[in-house]
Every structure is written in C-alpha cells, then in structure tokens.
C-alpha cells in the first residue's frame, strides 16, 4: 500500500512540475501576447481615426525589442499626420498609447510610425550620432547637440555608444533636453 501512495505522490508531483514548467514557458509568450494585443488595439484605434479623417492607410503590426510597433503606410496625405518635425506623429502616438491604456489598464510603450518618417529619422539620427562621435574622438572637443525628443536622444545615444573613446549623456530639462558627446580619457 505504501508503494501505491508513494507512486501517487510522485505522479502528483510530476503533474505539478509539468504545470509549473508550462506556466514558466507561457510567461515568456504571455509578454509577447500582451504586446500583440496592444498592437491590435492600437491598430483598431488608428483604423477608426483614419476613417474619421478620410485618410487611406495600411496598418502593419509588429513586436520589436519588447514593445508593440505599429506602422501606417499609404498615400501622401499621411505626411500631414507626421507634421514638419514629427510633432503630429508624437501626439498621435500618445493618443494611441492612451487608447491602449484605456482598454488594457496598463501604460503602453508602443511605437508608432507613419509614412516611414520615424524609420527615416532613425537613419538620419544614427548618422548624426556616428559623425559627431567620430569628430569628438578625433579632436576631443565636447559637442552639444540641439534639443531632441526622447526617441531622438535614444537613437543618438545608441549611435555614440558604437564609437570607441567617446560617450554621451543627456543635459537639460524637456523640451530643451539635448545630447552631449565627449571624449573619454
């Protein structure tokens, strides 16, 4: 009888271990599932908004670097939703994040791109950061860049970090916060 109780105890433990492993395995995909859900909510919100504005756009949803990424591609009219320096895009991103938060109860970090503006801006800022870092590495003179948004500063910091002998830090308070690049001795 004691063997049967012991075997039953082992079976229960095996089931418990299996359930724990499944929960652990699911927790990694749960994070991604939550991000996919954020993207779906954001896509629905943006689709309704584009319909109200009578703009055509194709919405693409993705997950990159632990955040939902929503891209809207389409005609030239979409450039109006970016603004001259991306200010309209930033406002739309914040509204979209709020729509997601209202639905999920959790603050969203989703990234919105419209008409490829953010992707193009990332390329420009990466080049700016690289060139500035190389110049500072060569002549040793600290460079203070113009004020930037958090997105822009992050891209520049990443580009500077790829160049040896230099580093960068933020300086100032938003909206006047800027990146300062200096040589490391």
Q: What is the pLDDT of residues 5-52, one digit of tens each?
A: 333 344 333 333 333 333 333 334 569 999 999 999 999 999 999 999
pLDDT of residue 76: 75
The CA–CA distances, whole Å, from 163 to 84, 129, 169, 180 equal 30, 9, 14, 14
SS3 143: strand
pLDDT of residue 23: 34
Give the residue-averaged pLDDT of 176-184.
Answer: 97
pLDDT of residue 15: 34
Per cent of the chain over pLDDT 70 is 84
Give the residue-averaged pLDDT of 160-164.
Answer: 97
Phi, psi at 15, each rounded to 5°: -65, -45
Measure the CA–CA gap between 182 and 137, rounded to whole angstroms: 8
pLDDT of residue 153: 97
Per cent of the chain over pLDDT 90 is 77
Q: Is the pLDDT of residue 139 over 70?
A: yes
Confidence of residue 77 (pLDDT cuts 50, 70, 90): confident
The domains of the chain, with CATH numbers, are 2-115 (3.30.300.20), 120-183 (3.30.1370.50)
Comparing 3 with 123, the larger pLDDT belongs to 123
pTM of the model: 0.75
Which DSSP string do the residues of 13-34 spell out, in sequence order?
HHHHHHHHHHHHHHHHHHHHHH
Measure the CA–CA gap between 179 and 44, rounded to whole angstroms: 36
pLDDT of residue 134: 98
SS3 5: helix
pLDDT of residue 75: 74
pLDDT averaged over the chain? Answer: 86
List the strands of the sheet with 166-171, edge to edge: 143-144, 178-183, 166-171
């Amino acid at each position: 009888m004691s063997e049967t109780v012991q075997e039953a105890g082992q079976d229960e433990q095996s089931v418990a271990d299996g359930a724990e492993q499944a929960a652990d395995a699911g927790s990694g995909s749960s994070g991604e599932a939550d991000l996919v859900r954020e993207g779906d909510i954001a896509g629905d919100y943006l689709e309704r908004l584009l319909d109200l504005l009578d703009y055509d756009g194709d919405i693409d949803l993705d997950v990159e670097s632990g955040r939902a990424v929503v891209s809207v591609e389409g005609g030239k009219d979409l450039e109006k939703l970016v603004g001259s320096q991306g200010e309209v895009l930033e406002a739309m991103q914040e509204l979209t994040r709020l729509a997601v938060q209202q639905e999920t109860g959790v603050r969203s970090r989703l990234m919105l791109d419209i008409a490829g503006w953010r992707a193009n801006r990332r390329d420009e800022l990466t080049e700016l950061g690289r060139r500035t870092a190389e110049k500072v590495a060569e002549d040793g003179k600290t460079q203070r860049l113009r004020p930037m948004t958090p997105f822009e500063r992050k891209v520049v910091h990443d580009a500077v970090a790829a160049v040896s002998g230099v580093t960068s830090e933020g300086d100032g308070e938003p909206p006047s916060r800027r990146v300062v690049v200096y040589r490391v001795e």
